Amino acid sequence: MRTVLVTGAAGGIGTRLRKLLKGAYPQLVWSDIKAPANLGTDEKFIQADLADLAAVEKLVTGVDGIVHLGGVSVERPWEEILPANIVGCYNLFEAARRKKVKRVVFASSNHAIGFYPRTRRINVDNVVRPDGYYGVSKAFGESMGALYAYKHGLRVTCLRIGNFDDIPVDHRRMSIWLKPEDLVQLIRIGLDHPDLRFEVFYGASDNERGWWDNSAAFRYGYKPVGKSEAHVREAMEGQAKLKPDPVADWYQGGMFCSMDYDSDADLARY
């Protein structure tokens, strides 16, 4: 990879990656619908709306690899999810195909599988169980990645990102925490590993209480350095401040599952 484009440059993850990826590739290009704060004079930024296919085609021209973080990053009404996360995701993959981009690393989410109970350990072969429209959009993106990998030859890595933060701040995040440096490691595997065609990895650090079998990532050399058990005290202090929520506390997706929840299903059966 010589030229790598990162979308979603103004978001929380994108902002951290602007520092963590610096110098990793000969040229980094950053993009978002709005300019990031504190953009450095040495940072190349191109403003673009993912919902505009022509703009996205222009954006990816001359790019070798893409890290696609762009789009709505939380649960929102469908009318907001659709243009950025569905249309925008299609545009990104289609533009990459047209402009002969070699690789795409797609930022999926744990919310694509949020409706699995915390009592169940899952791997990447378990079917998706999105916990909201945001999770649906991430499941869609994974499917688009598979289509463009197998039909059009793109090399695609989908990262089901857990909780990206410096430390886990409550009990749930002890299981899904992703240290920023570990995300960089996963991104670089997706961009650089010679044998990768299409893979789904869990974006999680070395979490003793984790719910996800991440052996797919380990096969490609992933060696997480973050250990959530090192932050038990901070996480339990944060947990003590939260109100009980029987739905959120049962499912892996947490409060995304309890938003607008009106099912009468017996939680313990699922």
Tens of pLDDT, residues 79-103: 999 999 999 999 999 999 999 999 9
Query: According to the model, what pLDDT value does residue 270 have?
Result: 75
- pLDDT (mean) for 250-256: 97
CA distance 167 to 81: 28
Tokens (6 digits) for 56: 């996205």
Tokens (6 digits) for 259: 């938003």
Distances (CA, A) of 148 to 132, 140, 267: 25, 12, 36
Query: According to the model, what pLDDT value does residue 128 have?
Result: 98
Q: Over pLDDT 90: what percentage of the chain? A: 96
- The closest of 84, 82, 78 to 107, measured between CA atoms, is 84
Examine the pLDDT at 233 and tell me if it is beyond 90. Answer: yes
CATH code, residues 3-269: 3.40.50.720
Query: According to the model, what pLDDT value does residue 69 have?
Result: 98
Query: According to the model, what pLDDT value does residue 200 have?
Result: 98
Tens of pLDDT, residues 130-176: 999 999 999 999 999 999 999 999 999 999 999 999 999 999 999 99
- The closest of 194, 198, 195, 189 to 218, measured between CA atoms, is 189
Query: According to the model, what pLDDT value does residue 269 have?
Result: 75
Confidence of residue 23 (pLDDT cuts 50, 70, 90): very high
Examine the pLDDT at 268 and tell me if it is beyond 80. Answer: no
Confidence of residue 267 (pLDDT cuts 50, 70, 90): confident
Query: According to the model, what pLDDT value does residue 37 have?
Result: 86
Using alpha carbons only, give the angle 114, 119, 120 rounded to the nearest 5 degrees. Answer: 65
Tens of pLDDT, residues 35-74: 998 899 999 999 999 999 999 999 999 999 999 999 999 9
Residues 65, 103 contacting (CB under 8 angstroms)? yes
Could you give the residue numbers annotated as active site? Answer: 134
Q: In the chain, where are the structural domains located? A: 3-269
Tens of pLDDT, residues 177-226: 999 999 999 999 999 999 999 999 999 999 999 999 999 999 999 999 99
- Average confidence score pLDDT of the chain: 97
Tens of pLDDT, residues 67-85: 999 999 999 999 999 999 9
